[in-house]
Amino acid sequence: STKPRIVVVGAGYAGMMTTKRLTQQLQPQEADIVLVNKHNYHYQTTWLHEVAAGTIDPNRARIMISDVIDTKRVQMVYDTVTELQPQNERVLLENGELSYDYLVVSLGFETATFGIPGIAENAWKIENIESSKAIYHHIESQFIKYASGETEDDTALNILIGGSGFTGIEFLAEVVEKVPELCSKYDIHQSKVRIINVEAAPSILPGFDEELIEYAEKNLSDRGVEFRIGTKIQECTPDSFIVGDDNEEIKAGTVVWTGGVQANPVVGHSGFELTKGKVNARDDLRAPNYDNVFMIGDTSWVWDHENDKPFPVNAQSAIQEADTCAANLQALLQGKETNNFVFDNKGTVASLGKGDAIGTILDDYKLFGKKARLMKNVIDNRYLFLVGGPKLILKKGKVRFF
C-alpha cells in the first residue's frame, strides 16, 4: 500500500494505548498501523508484584491483545525486536524485519543493576510475567525443599528484597500475605520464615510523604518485616546480599532485587543516547535527531519545564503520553504542528496487600487504609476500561460484582 505506515513496538501501557487511540482517531485510509509485541498478550505490569508473590493468578494479569485491539485495523506482529535502525527506518526482529514511515518506541523497562557485582546473574527480578512467575515458583520450591528435609538450613526460607521503592514495598506486602498460606500448606512454623528488606536510603520509599512512609513502615514491621534501611547492597551471591561498609552477609533462599529501572536494552543497543538509563525525549515526545520516531513510556524522560525536572515515569504517565503521541502522529500525517506533552498528575497510590494501601491524590491529600485500597482498585479498573471497555473490567477487574 502507498499509505504511510506507523509501527508501534511494545504493547505495554504506552504502546497499547497509542495503538488504541490511533484506531479511534485515524481513518483507515490515512495510515497502516502495525503493532509489534513479544507475545500475543499484554500484561499488567502494575500487578507483577502480585504474580511474583503468588497472590494473583498470572492469567488474570494477562490480556489477549486480539480481545481489545481491532486486528482487522491493526496488523499484529508477534515477534521480538532485536534492533531499531532509525537511520534506515527499519526495525529488526528475531524472525524478520519491518520498515516504517513513523515509529513509536514503547518497549518498556528492564531492571537496572547499576553494575553491582552478582545482581545480574544471581538476583530474581520483577520484570515481566515470566520472570515474576519464576519468583513465586522459586519461593514455593524453597518451602518444599525445607518441608521434605532436602535442606535443614533455616535461611532457605528467608525472603530477601533489595530496594524499597514502590515495587519493593508493594511486593513485600504481598509476600507478607502469602507466607502464612505457604506455612500452613507445608506445615512450617511461621517463625522460621524471615522477610528482610534492605534499602540504601535513610528511609523506605525515599522522597514520598513522610507520614505515609511511617504508616507503611509500621504496618509492614507489625506484620513481621525486618527493615535494614541506610544499608547499601554491595554485592549479590546466589543466596545472599553483601551489605554495608563492613560487608555483612545476609543469607536467604530467595534473593529479589527491586533497586530501580532503566529503558529496555534494545534502545541503548540501537544507538540512542541514554541519560540515567533513558532517552531524553523532546517536549512533543519525539526522539532527539529523528523527526519520525517517538520515544514513550519507560524508555524516556520528558522534561517538566515548570519544575525543572523530568515528569514522573510510571504507568499513569505512559497512558497520558500515549494520548499526546497518537495526537502528534495524526498532526504529522496532516502536516500540522505537534503539541508538547504535559503530565497531569492524579496522584500516587501504592498497595500494601489486598486490604490496605497508601497514597497522595489531588496534590497533597493523603489516603491510607481501606480508602486508599479502594482508590487503587479504581485506578486499576480505569485502565481496563480505557483499553477494553466495561467487558474487560468484568473479566479482569479488581472489584467483585455480586
Question: Among all residues, which ones are annotated catalytic?
Answer: 170
Q: State the DSSP string of 22-78.
A: HHHHS-TTT-EEEEEESSSEEE-GGGHHHHHHT-S-GGGGEEEHHHHS-TTTEEEEE
Give least dist CB 118 to ligand FAD, A: 21
Query: Of 15-23, 128-136, 192-200, 334-342, which part binds ligand NAD (CB under 6 A)?
Result: 192-200
Which of ligand NAD, ligand FAD, none does 168 bind, CB closer than 5 to 8 A by kind? ligand NAD
**Contacts of 1 by beta carbon, 8 Å cutoff, 6+ apart:** 32
Number of residues written out for the chain? 402
Closest residue to bound ligand FAD by CB = 12
Specify whether the backbone of 236 is left (phi greater than 0), alpha (psi in -120 to 50) or beta. beta
Q: Rule CB under 6 A: say whether 366 interacts with ligand NAD.
A: no
User: Packing angle between helix 370-396 and helix 315-333, nearest 10 degrees?
Assistant: 50
Cell (9 digits) for 163: 530496594
Distance of alpha carbon 25 from alpha carbon 260, whole angstroms? 35
Give least dist CB 214 to ligand NAD, A: 16
Which of ligand FAD, ligand NAD, none does 33 bind, CB closer than 5 to 8 A by kind? none
Give least dist CB 41 to ligand NAD, A: 21
Closest CB to ligand NAD among residues 134, 375? 375
Give least dist CB 227 to ligand FAD, A: 19
Q: Rule CB under 6 A: say whether 103 interacts with ligand FAD.
A: no
Q: Which residues within the stretch 219-278 sit at the binding site for ligand FAD (CB under 6 A)? A: 264, 266
Closest CB to ligand NAD among residues 300, 338? 300
Phi (first) and psi of residue 351, to 5 degrees: -80, 150
Q: Rule CB under 6 A: say whether 297 interacts with ligand NAD.
A: no
Distance of alpha carbon 337 from alpha carbon 341, whole angstroms? 13
Which of ligand NAD, ligand FAD, none does 244 bind, CB closer than 5 to 8 A by kind? none
Q: Which residues within the stretch 197-256 sit at the binding site for ligand NAD (CB under 6 A)? A: 198-201, 206, 232-233
Q: State the DSSP string of 101-153.
A: SEEEE---EEE--TT-TTHHHH-EE--SHHHHHHHHHHHHHHHHHHHTTS---
Which of ligand FAD, ligand NAD, none does 206 bind, CB closer than 5 to 8 A by kind? ligand NAD
Q: Which residues within the stretch 304-323 sit at the binding site for ligand FAD (CB under 6 A)? A: 313-316, 318
The interface mask with ligand NAD, positions 254-283, x = CB under 6 A, is ----xxxx----------------------
Q: State the DSSP string of 340-356.
A: -------EEEEESSTT-
Q: Which residues within the stretch 337-356 sit at the binding site for ligand NAD (CB under 6 A)? A: 348, 350
Alpha helices in 148-201 (DSSP H): 166-186
**Contacts of 67 by beta carbon, 8 Å cutoff, 6+ apart:** 388, 392
Sheet holding 32-37, edge to edge: 74-78, 32-37, 5-9, 102-105, 293-295
Which of ligand FAD, ligand NAD, none does 45 bind, CB closer than 5 to 8 A by kind? ligand FAD
Give the C-alpha distances (Å, rounded to integers) separating 357 from 60, 213, 217, 374, 375: 21, 11, 12, 9, 9
Q: Which of 162, 253, 277, 310 binds ligand NAD (CB under 6 A)?
A: 162
Q: Rule CB under 6 A: say whether 166 interacts with ligand NAD.
A: yes
Which residues of the shown chain bind ligand FAD in the complex (CB under 6 A)?
10-15, 36-39, 42, 45-46, 48-49, 80-81, 106-109, 126, 167, 170, 264, 266, 297-298, 313-316, 318
Which residues of the shown chain bind ligand NAD in the complex (CB under 6 A)?
116, 162-168, 170, 198-201, 206, 232-233, 258-261, 313-314, 348, 350
